[in-house]
């Protein structure tokens, strides 16, 4: 079985890879061009982070980042259901983007203190690189909170995604997420059970089919 360290790395890497995929689904169809560019760019960053995390795990397991990213069965991924949801609707997309970035920041800040130098170092680097994602998400939250319609739609989306957002983090970090999100929105969040990792959303299998189709179409070890 894999170590706790590998579990942690794969959970984060799978989150970033799957979320990167979801963000990239907006390429070409975002509400306006600048958001198309923004989400595509954010997706690239997420996938870059996924790769760095896979490489740490791969070194420990004696395999490669590509094999970890693409050669597992859908059930073996450790991604959080929040990133697996396919929500091609803008308020949900923005809510998910903001909830994930907030949770991820909490997670990264706690990892920067890790005794494991490699993980602490990578967490610090990713934390810096996420600055743009956070600016972008916060900008959207401000804008949505500034109008009645925006606030209603944001609240609906956040309430729907809230149980999933809680599930991104380990138990001991969830209170901080609740405090931050509640403070920002100026209201209490619903008391709900977190949707934890381990049981995948149905949409993951479809995502996996598409994401790994090129990889599976070529014999193992093929060079491009």
Partner 1 sequence: MVFEVFRRERKGQPFQHAGAIDAPDERFAEIYAREQYGRRQESVALWLVPREAVNEIDEFPDEFEMKYRRVDGYSIKARLHEARERAGTLDMAPGGDAAA
Burial class (CB within 10 angstroms; exposed 0-12, middle 13-18, buried 19+) of 94: buried
Report DSSP letters for 213-224, one per residue. Answer: HHHHHS-TT---
Q: Whole-number minimum distance, CB 142 to partner 1, in Å?
A: 8
Using the rule CB under 8 A, which residue among 88, 143, 159, 213 binds partner 1?
A: 143
What is the C-alpha to C-alpha distance for residues 71 and 57, in angstroms, rounded to an integer? Answer: 14
Q: Is position 107 an interface residue for partner 1 (rule: CB under 8 A)?
A: no
Report the candidate in 127, 124, 106, 128 with the shortest Cα–Cα distance to residue 116: 124
Using the rule CB under 8 A, which residue among 6, 18, 19, 38 binds partner 1?
A: 38
Stretch 15-34: interaction string toward partner 1, x if CB under 8 A: -----------------xxx
Stretches 12-20, 78-86, 130-138, 192-200: which one binds partner 1 (CB under 8 A)? 130-138
**Helix (H/G/I), strand (E/B), else coil: 127:** helix
Stretches 132-140, 158-166, 180-188, 212-220: which one binds partner 1 (CB under 8 A)? 132-140
Residues found near partner 1 in the complex (CB under 8 A): 32-34, 37-38, 41, 132, 135-136, 139, 142-143
């Amino acid at each position: 079985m894999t170590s706790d360290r590998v579990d942690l790395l794969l959970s984060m890497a799978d989150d970033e890879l799957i979320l990167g995929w979801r963000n990239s689904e907006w390429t070409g169809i975002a509400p306006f061009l600048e958001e198309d560019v923004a989400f595509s760019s954010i997706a690239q960053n997420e996938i870059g982070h996924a790769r760095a995390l896979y490489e740490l795990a791969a070194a420990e397991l004696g395999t490669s980042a590509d094999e970890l990213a693409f050669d597992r069965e859908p059930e073996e991924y450790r991604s959080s259901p929040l990133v697996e949801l396919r929500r091609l609707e803008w308020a949900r997309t923005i809510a998910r983007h903001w909830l994930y970035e907030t949770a991820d920041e909490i997670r990264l800040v706690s990892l920067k203190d890790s005794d494991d130098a490699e993980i602490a170092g990578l967490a610090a680097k990713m934390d810096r690189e996420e600055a743009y994602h956070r600016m972008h998400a916060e900008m959207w939250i401000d804008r949505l909170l500034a109008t009645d319609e925006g606030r209603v739609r944001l609240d609906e989306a956040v309430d729907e995604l809230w149980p999933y957002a809680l599930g991104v983090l380990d138990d001991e970090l969830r209170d901080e997420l609740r405090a931050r999100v509640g403070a920002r929105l100026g209201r209490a969040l619903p008391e709900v059970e977190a949707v934890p990792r381990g049981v995948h959303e149905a949409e993951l299998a479809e995502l996996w089919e598409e994401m790994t189709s090129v990889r599976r179409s070529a014999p193992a070890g093929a060079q491009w």
